[in-house]
Structure 1
């Protein structure tokens, strides 16, 4: 009995010391979480994405203010090119970490860049396991962003899935404070159809919500129903571990115009509505007969701006 008591006496202080060390490191590296700051950042620097803003604000705020989350936060962003998926990942990072997306604990993976060779998938799986486990064990508030998820090998998706559940610990490491964000163009066509149909029916864009016209359900079906997608071949669909499927709507001229003005400010170019108008109108739009939505969203706005300014 005395030996047992002695054992507990030794272990508890050790666990306490590690908890204190993690907490002290978090205090140094993390921003004090501020709901209003994140809300303002989303409002001022994200254009045309009212649904994403609302869901991200609630999800991230709830997670960051929960001292004992039951699982990692898992968000899946869906939509076309240049609509703000990467941008929102950066907004989240800069509202959590003092160095924002440049923080060493923010890890970004692009499937075709980091995992290009199918014949090396077993090596990639081992490396990915070691990378996720190693980084979370050293800093529990780590953030992982996986771009091009629809192009990722299903075996790699299943490796990630391993760390997304409600387990108190896996191999001695708790992943409950980590954040995983998946970025994908999958579901983009469904989202575009919903927004276009709503517009043609005379509805205001801002009236659209997650459940409008079964958008969330149809995104889910589109993402996991595509037999050519890594999502379909993985077991992630059966595990129900993604907390939110978040649609990013196609951008209209007015949103691209806002992107141009923001890029001017970032480049220290004097605000010029006429120049912003020319740049925004020079972007390609769809459908061909109506030209409502930007084909590339705000992607390549910077290059277009610099080219137009020189003309």
Structure 2
């Protein structure tokens, strides 16, 4: 009897296409068996997660010492932010049963390190950092540009957060340019930040929400300048010197994105993190760190030249850089 000749087939074995014009029954059975074995092998979590990014399990604990080292080595002039971020993030991720998501609101002038700290947190939690599929960045002027579509944005935002937390409980959501966000929009996520065990069958208690804003920068500068004028070190500024004034100032500021927000009214933001304006010495630290990151030896003459091209806030004292370290990279390119 003539062997049965099958039509051309396409098999997917371990992600590789195997084409055959005509496989005999025995060959076909063998190929299917191999595919079944490999499929079962690939389904094993360790092997699968070595190839594709997986959501961390409950036992996953990022390295707190590594987070502290990175903050110490790369964040300059921000003793308050270092202290709060390290304490807040490490205590949250080590808590096996948090009662609510972690919500951080980072405030200060541009170039003081708010975006940088967000990246550091993301890199500490996920190897891919900001490129991780579990880290989500929203930019107000890009993702929510039109005031007349606020209700649509609210619906979309709720669906996006619900879907991603359902896929990974340890998702991170970063909202940049909060001072440009339409008032009331952020209140759409209030149920997800509250002390609910579940919302529509989904628990949000392991998620992290980070809000970045220039709002409050003037309040922070005033406190820092008062300390400087009185001859006190900036390191003497404590969180209690800023916390209440900052939360009230942001709540009553129409341009904060958190204006009369229920997130503040219901005390759902865990920490208001102030980023102090940077002085000349801190700008020089940023320049040196950037040179080292590019693999260059530190040339103090170049450091001096770049630092002196920066502009400083127009008080009589000319103490603080008005752009922080924001333009250091482009100015260093010139040299």
Matched, 1:226 2:253: yes
Equivalent in the alignment of 1:251 = 278
SS for the counterpart of 2:249 is helix
Partners of 1:40 and 1:115 lie apart in 2 by 36
TM-score for both structures, normalised by structure 1: 0.87
1:173 to partner: Cα distance: 0.5
TM-score for both structures, normalised by structure 2: 0.81
Equivalent in the alignment of 2:138 = 109
Equivalent in the alignment of 1:125 = 154
Matched, 1:262 2:277: no
Contact 1:125–1:155, Cα closer than 8 Å, also in 2: no
**Structure 1 unaligned blocks of 5 or more:** 1-20
Matched, 1:292 2:324: no
Kindly report which structure 2 residues correspond to 1:43-82, keeping only aligned pairs within 5 A, or say none.
43-82=72-111
The structure with the largest alpha-carbon Rg is: 2
Contact 2:184–2:259, Cα closer than 8 Å, also in 1: no
Kindly report which structure 2 residues correspond to 1:121-270, keeping only aligned pairs within 5 A, or say none.
121-212=150-241, 215-270=242-297
Partners of 1:256 and 1:221 lie apart in 2 by 30
1:281 to partner: Cα distance: 1.6
Contact 1:29–1:98, Cα closer than 8 Å, also in 2: no
SS for the counterpart of 1:227 is coil
Equivalent in the alignment of 1:271 = 298
Cα distance, 1:285–1:29 mapped onto 2, change above 3 Å: farther
Partners of 1:174 and 1:148 lie apart in 2 by 27
Structure with more of its chain in helix, by fraction: 1
1:30 to partner: Cα distance: 9.7
Partners of 1:196 and 1:229 lie apart in 2 by 22
Partners of 2:57 and 2:195 lie apart in 1 by 27
Equivalent in the alignment of 1:8 = none
Alpha-carbon RMSD: 1.9
Cα distance, 1:27–1:105 mapped onto 2, change above 3 Å: closer
1:152 to partner: Cα distance: 1.2
Cα distance, 1:28–1:102 mapped onto 2, change above 3 Å: farther
1:26 to partner: Cα distance: 3.6
Cα distance, 1:39–1:32 mapped onto 2, change above 3 Å: same
Cα distance, 1:228–1:94 mapped onto 2, change above 3 Å: closer
Contact 1:79–1:250, Cα closer than 8 Å, also in 2: yes
Alignment: residue pair count? 285
SS for the counterpart of 1:95 is helix
Partners of 1:44 and 1:90 lie apart in 2 by 14
1:236 to partner: Cα distance: 2.2
Partners of 1:254 and 1:61 lie apart in 2 by 29
**Structure 2 unaligned blocks of 5 or more:** 1-44
1:31 to partner: Cα distance: 6.7
Cα distance, 1:28–1:64 mapped onto 2, change above 3 Å: closer
Identify which range, 37-46 or 120-129, moves more after superposition: 120-129
